[in-house]
Amino acid sequence: MGLDSVEILVNVENAFGITISNYEAEKIATVGDIHNVVWRTLQGRQSMRCRTQQLFYKLRYTLATKFNIPKDVIELDASLNDIFPITNRRSLYRKLEKEMQVKLPPLVLVPIWSTVLKITGALLIIGTLVISLVMVNGFNYTRWLYVLPVLGILLINFFSSLLDSARTVFRPSFLADFARMILTLNYSTIIQENGTSQQEVEQVIDHIIADIAGVDIKEVTPEKHLGYDLGID
């Protein structure tokens, strides 16, 4: 097998948390052969690592095909804050969640507004608490003044809701961490599924092959020979 073929198998093994034996690898000639080997190996052997890798490749595939983000910048150490469109980001993020069909981590405030909200919250809540304590204990005012800190909390929550449009920052921002967070948020649902469907497995494999071969994903079909049709050595 050539270097490209070996790289494909290594990436496939890493993606699904499996090991493909040399005996099986030597018999692989087409895209469909890889599909079959992986599916046979995977049945009943889904792992956390496998699911995380699959989520990453699904995320990568969605970003490339639905949001026109160049595949060469969608790497594990890439920051979504840098590569995901900033214009209409919140609406695009909702579209991403719909395309992925999973719950995504919420976007957070840009740093400046996050700092303003934290400082304002601290001043408002602590300030009203101090005022209440002084007025009640020092000047015998009604204990109803202790409601002021509660009102401060409600007011901060109201201000926070007004800043929803400023929540445009990915956290975590790196794709690897983001994929793990998706798994964490959706694990209770994912774990109830009976493993990964064969179609999803094949999509992940096709994406890996397309990336390494430098061809369009549509060209990667089961009957294609890795060498003759896709130019993979």
> Is residue 1 over pLDDT 60?
no
- Please state, for a pLDDT cut of 70, what percent of the chain lies above it: 92
- Looking at residue 53, its pLDDT comes to 79
- Please state, for a pLDDT cut of 90, what percent of the chain lies above it: 60
Whether the Cβ atoms of residue 4 and residue 232 lie closer than 8 Å to each other: yes
Q: What is the pLDDT of residues 126-151, one digit of tens each?
A: 999 999 999 999 998 998 999 999 99
Would you state the torsion angle of the CA atoms of residues 55, 57, 58, 61, taken in this order, to the nearest 10 degrees?
160
pLDDT, average across residues 21-37: 94
The Cα 43–Cα 38 span in angstroms is: 9
pTM, whole model, 2 decimals?
0.64
The DSSP-derived string for 81-144 is: HHHS--TTHHHHHHHHHHHHTSPPPPPEE-HHHHHHHHHHHHHHHHHHHHHHHHHHHHH---GG
First and final CA of the chain: distance in angstroms?
7
Q: Which two tokens stand for residue 92?
A: 């695009």
Q: Rounded mean pLDDT of the chain?
A: 88
Q: What is the pLDDT of residues 89-138, one digit of tens each?
A: 999 999 999 999 899 999 999 999 999 999 999 999 999 999 999 999 99
pLDDT, average across residues 160-184: 91
The Cα 33–Cα 39 span in angstroms is: 10
Q: What is the pLDDT of residues 39-48, one digit of tens each?
A: 888 775 555 5
Integer CA distances (angstroms), 123 to 113, 117, 145, 154, in order: 15, 10, 17, 14
